[in-house]
Amino acid sequence: MKHSKFILSLLLASCLTLSSQAKGIFYNVLDYGAKGDGKTNNTKAINAAITAAAKNGGGTVYFPAGNFLSFTIRMKSKINLHLDQGAVLIGDQEANGVGYDLPEEDAWYKKFQDFGHSYWKNSLIYGDSLRDISITGNGMIWGRGLYTYDKPKIQGSGNKAIGLKNCFNVTIRDVSILHGGHFCILATGVDNLTIDNVRADADRDAFDIDCCKNVRVSNCNINSPTDDGLCLKSSFGLGYARATENVTITNCQVYGYDHGTLIDGTFQSLFNDDDPMANHSITGRLKLGTESNGGFKNIAISNCVFEHSRGLCIETADGAMIEDIVINNITMRDITDTPFFIRLNARMRGPEGTPIGVCRRITISNLNVYDVGGRTKLPEVGAGMVMGIPGHYIEDLTLSNIRIYYRAGATKEAIDKEVPQNIDVYPDPYRWHSMPAYGIYFRYVKGLKVNDVVLRCLNRDERPAFVLDEVHGADFTTVDAQQTEGTPQFILKNVTNFTAHQVMGVADVMIEKAVKKEL
């Protein structure tokens, strides 16, 4: 009996010690006055819990199940915000000038990037120059009171679910984000960033990863019907050009269904093929750019699924150097405009004297696409697009083991339509409403390798599979492209050092120079 009492006393002492330790580590927002009733604004209580944790060297600020209204939550170093299952952090609606923190004062360089990339403070969750922070748990962040555009004339308005700047060692894991405003996550100058198993149902951009280094994005479900889903950028938002580099994106799914229908599981779309905005407005793509001052280096994208969205975009418009990009194991269905858009042009929104960018060493392999383009009764839309500008070439591009089924259906008149240069404008596929090829259009490219490619049309199309214009050093091997009788497989314009081997419908050939030639 005495022995049992002794063991019981030890267990009791151990439990009290653990309780004491837990009290010093976990900071329940309820203990600081928060109420999860969906009515009370908890900004002061939540920030008080964060301040208390920070004073004790850090810890977890804990949200139990409940609906917690708040304005700006100011993160501090060594803090984990943990939303338990059933916890919903709700961005409140500003009123009478009371609301989110005011955005930063305007900087001289704000003209070099879109409005939203100059401000972070007016977020639901905000942090600047912090280390070792995380946002975790199976709860939800609902930006109910956030705007999708910046509202500078509305005092206290907010427009981002999570806005982080110049931070180090950041993890965002397991949470869901609904209605993130302009951005569900805007991370600028954030290094050692991990985003894992996050569900984002965005009404504009889902994840914008800007001027960041050492980034891992994995296992995320992203729905973004009206803007980019997962977007890497390298803006001038920090006041200087900084590359986004050393990034892996893997095991993610990207959609363009109606806002909210990822979270509720219905995956609905109000757009149909006759809607004049279907090609442009259904977005949800994975993109590098368009903000492109600092460049993109060492980017690996793999094992991703796209559905009812746009495809891949790689763009340098403002002087960025894009190099060493690998994209592998991608499958797409119901793609509204193009499976991939690779563009080098000269919008040059940046400091005077910045040179035009570079785009080189890109590999896209193991890409499988079904039902692409041809919406809004525009059968000329849908081809893959790879385009530089005069004097500035996309270099060392490899397309390997690719299978694409196009909706297609254009007549031969599309072959002779002029393809605009659009040298200094915002680069986006919708600016080219017609392509002379149903498969892939190449212009201003050096060092092109295309191998193990299968192209098919779901409707009769009288255009060639490939058009090459100002392409130098092109090697096509083992290509099976559907061909309409009387239509060439290739149209070559100002092409040098072209070879074709085991290309369906074309005898093996080596051409040193072709001003204009059909094969």
What would the pLDDT profile of 205-216 be if each residue is shown by its tens digit? 999 999 999 999
Note down the domain range covering 129: 28-518
- Nearest-CA neighbor of 509 among 517, 518, 500, 519? 500
Q: Determine what percent of the chain is predicted with pLDDT higher than 90.
A: 88
Question: Please, is 473 exposed, middle or buried when counting C-beta atoms within 10 Å of its C-beta (0-12, 13-18, 19+)?
Answer: middle
Backbone dihedral angles phi then psi of residue 184, each to the nearest 5 degrees = -65, -45
pLDDT at position 11? 40
pLDDT digits (tens, 9 = 90+) for 398-446: 999 999 999 999 999 999 999 999 999 999 998 998 999 999 999 999 9
Does the structure show a pLDDT above 70 at 273? no
7 within a domain of the structure (yes/no): no
The Cα–Cα gap between 136 and 124 comes to 15
Cβ atoms within 10 Å, residue 238:
20
The Cα–Cα gap between 274 and 341 comes to 23
Dihedral of CA 252/257/258/264: which sign? negative
The Cα–Cα gap between 464 and 483 comes to 7
The Cα–Cα gap between 454 and 247 comes to 29
> Which residues, at least 6 apart from 383, have a Cβ–Cβ distance to it below 8 Å?
338, 373, 406, 435, 437, 438, 439, 440, 441
pLDDT at position 12? 41
Task: Tokens for 233, please give them.
Answer: 């950028």
Task: Tokens for 70, please give them.
Answer: 């708040």
**Are 91 and 145 in contact, with CB atoms under 8 Å apart?**
yes
20 within a domain of the structure (yes/no): no
The Cα–Cα gap between 141 and 202 comes to 11
**Are 286 and 309 in contact, with CB atoms under 8 Å apart?**
no
The DSSP bridge partners found for residue 404 are 369, 455
Does the structure show a pLDDT above 90 at 154? no
Buried b (16+ CB within 10 A) or exposed e, 174-184: bbbbbbbbbbb
DSSP-based three-state secondary structure for 500: strand
18 within a domain of the structure (yes/no): no
Cα 45 to its chain centre, rounded Å, is: 34
22 within a domain of the structure (yes/no): no
Element (H, E) at 60: strand 59-63
Does the structure show a pLDDT above 70 at 471? yes
Does the structure show a pLDDT above 90 at 152? no
Does the structure show a pLDDT above 80 at 82? yes
Mean pLDDT of the chain: 93
Provide mean pLDDT across the span 453-462. 97
The Cα–Cα gap between 118 and 250 comes to 28
pLDDT at position 116? 87
Task: Tokens for 197, please give them.
Answer: 């198993």
> Which residues, at least 6 apart from 515, have a Cβ–Cβ distance to it below 8 Å?
493, 494
236 within a domain of the structure (yes/no): yes
Q: Determine what percent of the chain is predicted with pLDDT higher than 70.
A: 93
- Nearest-CA neighbor of 384 among 396, 401, 362, 399? 399
448 within a domain of the structure (yes/no): yes
3 within a domain of the structure (yes/no): no
- AA letter at 409: G
pLDDT at position 379? 87
Q: Report the CATH number that the domain containing residue 42 is assigned in CATH.
A: 2.160.20.10
Overall domain count for the chain: 1
Provide mean pLDDT across the span 485-509. 97
- Nearest-CA neighbor of 357 among 316, 388, 324? 316
Q: Using alpha carbons, list the distances in angstroms from residue 375 to 271, 333, 406, 455.
A: 10, 13, 11, 18
Q: Please report which confidence band the pLDDT of residue 278 belongs to, taking 50, 70 and 90 as the band edges.
A: low
Backbone dihedral angles phi then psi of residue 10, each to the nearest 5 degrees = -65, -45
Q: Please report which confidence band the pLDDT of residue 275 belongs to, taking 50, 70 and 90 as the band edges.
A: low
> Which stretches within 244-376 are classed as H helix?
278-281
Does the structure show a pLDDT above 80 at 104? yes
DSSP-based three-state secondary structure for 429: helix
15 within a domain of the structure (yes/no): no
pLDDT at position 22? 41
Q: Please report which confidence band the pLDDT of residue 377 belongs to, taking 50, 70 and 90 as the band edges.
A: confident
- AA letter at 103: P
- Count the alpha carbons within 13 Å of 372 in the hemisphere toward its beta carbon: 28
- Nearest-CA neighbor of 302 among 324, 277, 328, 281? 328
